């Protein structure tokens, strides 16, 4: 059975390597990942003076990669479920057999190979110190890979299990957001502090070795000094912890396959609700109301947006800590818009085949695209605007108000246009929502990162005229000249949003069947 699942995974991977846009996402994502892995292996293998400092660096970078496996699916709003457990529900397999087979298939993808290349830096580090440390490094790199893959599977399965009820979904999304937020300070610690500890005292290096991500490097150091006990204990600990994670995954798979999702309860049609009082009863208003309610009720949409909104606030704070100044914090609103755009570039993918209702309704495309754009703006703009209005004043950086308020409408306008434009021109399918709200089809995480890169570049380019006026005002030390950038920013943002909406409407009207095929779950 394991061989069959591995063959299925390899066949699907080979298919992704050949099929148009999926192939582009696959190869670009793999190349970027491989480059990061080679850099990591090089730093671990050659970026040190002594074995002790090299082990400290290895422990820090191993921790960063482990965090990537845990937080990556949350930060990108997707996790790879090429083989879904529900597809094997009717086969005569026990939960442990299914967990064993799916775990083995998870190592057949490119992500596992790329991570093994990164962890192979430990072998380069250990090789000059003898055969025994090199053999320990090989075993440690393999065990570390098994550990991180199983840890990622268990975390995603646990979040999916927590979101089976309405209250659980809210709690799960909040936990996911907190987990995503934890990535930045911890990664700041292990990536930036770790490599500077070459000559630091053991009081700083010991915590990096104490966590599971540092056990394999610690075993190599013990093997180099001939300590058999402390060579075996970390490796046995990784093996035992991986076994526990595998058993936990089997239990979570059993719950996913046997427990039906709890109903969110009956949805009452309140005629005098808040949305009905403030949103006009027009076709566009109907779409806005529907979208706002869907963003609130759908756990997959909340999982893609809420963590990114919170991270948008936290990211400039961590950048300020890293750089030693608070200049980035007043631009938290811009970060919110920038990251929230990532969670909304596949609106029709969220709906799946339900988009056919819009396609077959005469004249519905225009109202649908505009309603979706307005609803997304109503969710993101208030949060970003409040952050932009409040944070510069709290920090006493009043001089940054023209910069923050003038660039925000440009970023927001480009974001609105990009959300609907990419949702119609680069839509991709999502698997049926079952146990994991972060599950994706094929390689959607890479696709989203590529989309966000292009959107971020567009936001930067369209903001150039605004930045020029702000720069001139700063050079002249004239606040009034800087405030002239605000109306220009409003105009540019409005034009970007209107162009994106117009192009998306045309695409939906003329290529509706193609969009339906693209978002149909496979």
Q: Is the pLDDT at 231 greater than 80, yes or no?
A: yes
Digit-coded pLDDT (tens) for 191-219: 555 445 555 445 557 777 888 988 999 99
Contact 229, 134 (CB under 8 A): no
Amino acid 268: pLDDT:
43
478: left (phi over 0), alpha (psi -120 to 50) or beta: beta
Q: Could you give the angle at the alpha carbon of 315 between the alpha carbons of 314 and 320, nearest 5°?
A: 100
Sign of the C-alpha dihedral computed for residues 64, 103, 247 and 166 taken in this order:
positive
Amino acid 180: pLDDT:
56
Amino acid 67: pLDDT:
81
Predicted TM-score (pTM) above 0.75: no
Between 468 and 95, the higher pLDDT residue: 468
Q: Could you give the angle at the alpha carbon of 78 between the alpha carbons of 142 and 505, nearest 5°?
A: 150
- Average pLDDT (252-262) is 71
pLDDT band at 184 (very low <50, low <70, confident <90, very high): low
Digit-coded pLDDT (tens) for 107-139: 877 788 888 999 999 999 999 888 999 999 999
Contacts of 48 (CB under 8 A, 6+ apart): 54, 57, 125, 198
User: How many other C-beta atoms can be found within 10 angstroms of the C-beta atom of residue 352?
Assistant: 17
Question: d(Cα 385, Cα 401) in Å, to the nearest integer?
Answer: 12
DSSP 88: G
Query: 151-165, 357-371, 398-412, 413-427: which range is least confident on average?
Result: 151-165
What token pair was written down for 297? 């009720």
Quick check: helix, strand or coil at residue 79?
Answer: strand
pLDDT band at 497 (very low <50, low <70, confident <90, very high): very high
- Average pLDDT (483-492) is 92
Amino acid 469: pLDDT:
92
Question: d(Cα 224, Cα 205) in Å, to the nearest integer?
Answer: 17
pLDDT band at 189 (very low <50, low <70, confident <90, very high): low
């Amino acid at each position: 059975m394991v061989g069959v699942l591995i063959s299925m995974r390899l066949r699907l991977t080979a298919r992704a390597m050949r099929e148009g846009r999926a192939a582009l996402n696959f190869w670009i994502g793999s190349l970027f990942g491989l480059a990061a892995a080679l850099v990591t292996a090089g730093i671990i293998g050659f970026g040190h003076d002594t074995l002790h400092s090299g082990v400290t660096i290895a422990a820090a970078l191993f921790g960063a990669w482990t965090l990537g496996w845990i937080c990556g699916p949350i930060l990108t709003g997707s996790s790879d479920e090429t083989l879904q457990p529900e597809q094997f529900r009717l086969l005569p397999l026990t939960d442990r057999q299914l967990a064993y087979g799916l775990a083995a298939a998870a190592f057949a993808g490119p992500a596992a190979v790329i991570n093994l290349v990164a962890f192979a830096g430990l072998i380069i580090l250990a090789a000059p110190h003898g055969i025994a440390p090199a053999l320990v490094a090989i075993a440690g790199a393999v065990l570390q890979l098994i550990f991180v893959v199983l840890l990622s599977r268990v975390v995603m399965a646990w979040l999916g299990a927590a979101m089976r009820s309405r209250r659980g979904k809210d709690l799960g999304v909040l936990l996911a957001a907190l987990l995503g937020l934890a990535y930045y300070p911890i990664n700041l610690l292990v990536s930036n502090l770790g490599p500077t500890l070459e000559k630091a005292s053991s009081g700083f290096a010991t915590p990096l070795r104490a966590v599971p991500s540092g056990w394999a490097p610690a075993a190599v150091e013990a093997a180099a000094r001939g300590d058999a006990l402390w060579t075996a204990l970390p490796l046995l600990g990784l093996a035992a912890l991986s076994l526990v994670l595998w058993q936990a995954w089997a239990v979570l798979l059993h719950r996913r396959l046997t427990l039906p999702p709890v109903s969110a309860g009956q949805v009452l049609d309140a005629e005098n609700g808040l949305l009905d009082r403030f949103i006009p009863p027009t076709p566009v208003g109907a779409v806005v109301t529907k979208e706002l309610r869907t963003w609130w009720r759908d756990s997959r949409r909340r999982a893609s947006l809420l963590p990114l909104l919170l991270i948008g606030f936290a990211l400039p704070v961590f950048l300020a800590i890293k750089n030693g100044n608070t200049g980035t914090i007043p631009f938290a609103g811009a970060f919110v818009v920038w990251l929230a755009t990532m969670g909304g570039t596949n609106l029709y993918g969220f709906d799946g085949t339900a988009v056919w209702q819009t396609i077959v309704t005469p004249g519905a495309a225009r109202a649908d695209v505009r309603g979706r754009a307005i609803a997304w703006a109503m969710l993101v703009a208030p949060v970003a605007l409040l952050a932009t209005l409040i944070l510069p004043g709290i920090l006493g950086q009043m001089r940054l108000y023209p910069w923050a308020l003038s660039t925000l409408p440009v970023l927001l306008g480009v974001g609105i246009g990009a959300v609907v434009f990419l949702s119609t021109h680069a839509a991709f399918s999502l698997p049926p929502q079952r146990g994991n709200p972060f599950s994706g089809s094929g390689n959607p995480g890479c696709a989203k990162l590529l989309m966000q890169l292009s959107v971020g570049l567009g936001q930067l380019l369209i903001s150039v005229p605004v930045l020029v006026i702000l720069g001139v005002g700063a050079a002249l030390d004239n606040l009034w000249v800087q405030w002239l950038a605000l109306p220009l920013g409003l105009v540019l943002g409005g034009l970007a949003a209107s162009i994106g909406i117009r192009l998306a409407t045309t695409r939906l009207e003329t290529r509706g069947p193609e969009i339906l095929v693209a978002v149909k779950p496979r």
